[in-house]
Amino acid sequence: MNKELLSRIKAFTENYPADPAVQDRIVRPAVSFIGEETLDLAVRALLAGENLLLCGGKATGKNILADNLSWLFRRPVYTVSFHVNTDSSTLIGTDTFTDGEVKLRRGPVTNTAAYGGFCVLDEINMAKSDAVAVLHAVLDYRRIIDIPGYDLIPLHPATRFIATMNYGYEGTRELNEALVSRFTVIRMPVLSEEKLQELLRIESPDAASAHINHCAALFLDLNEKAVNGEISTNSVDLRGMITALRLMTGGMSPKDAVTISITNKVFDEYERTLVDDIVMTRFAG
């Protein structure tokens, strides 16, 4: 990252020091994000006060980028993973009886607002209607959360929201125009083979170069088959590939390591056979 951006980030962190009460939520990411242009775009948008929507396929680094941005800006992180049971109270909080009175037990969105955190809205295109309504209000230009029965909660100046979304998964839906308009959108590029090898090497520094190269090539083979609709995305699992590499480093045969980390995650017998055939082209032994 260039010196100008680093200087601006430093000024931001000095201007908005994190509250000591939430220091434990400022976490150094386990993996560094690979992709200077994308990181540059994201940092500039956040410095301008914008919220981010990171969209793209599996294993394009959306959550890794969110983690790295939170660390760069030294912000406490609050994460919401959307699913069928995520509703407005999950985001805002619920009533609780404390010291003889009803108080608000804050949720991740209200805590983000109070402490100037970064709120990661994971799989936002799985959000239900009432949760989306909350996000409309929170992301409004007024930057105020109005909770009936409680005072208005203004958003801390350092507060940002980083949403992620994948395409085509069961339970996902199209985001409405009003919600999308509240974000700047970054399309995450697919990792090249060289970048993928670099990432695997960082995650498994003791792995043999040949194993890293074969795993990177296999991942791209599987991803291409999934994009073409020949298999599902179940086997396009970067975490599984990293696990396979670690198992190989621990002495397991490459074929067995990939089988239990990748192939066996496909439960349809016909598709599992297809995946196994692809694996055999890279790991025959």
The DSSP symbol for 2 reads -
Kindly report the pTM of this predicted structure. Answer: 0.82
Judged on CB neighbours under 10 Å (0-12, 13-18, 19+), 228 is exposed
How does pLDDT run across 103-152, given as a tens digit for each residue? Answer: 777 889 999 999 999 999 998 988 888 788 888 888 888 788 877 767 78
pLDDT at 172: 57
The DSSP symbol for 226 reads H
pLDDT at 102: 64
% of the chain with per-residue pLDDT over 90 = 56
Kindly give the parts of the chain with pLDDT less than 50.
171
How does pLDDT run across 200-209, given as a tens digit for each residue? Answer: 998 889 999 9
Q: Helices 269-282 and 209-227 meet at what angle, rounded to 10?
A: 140
pLDDT at 135: 87
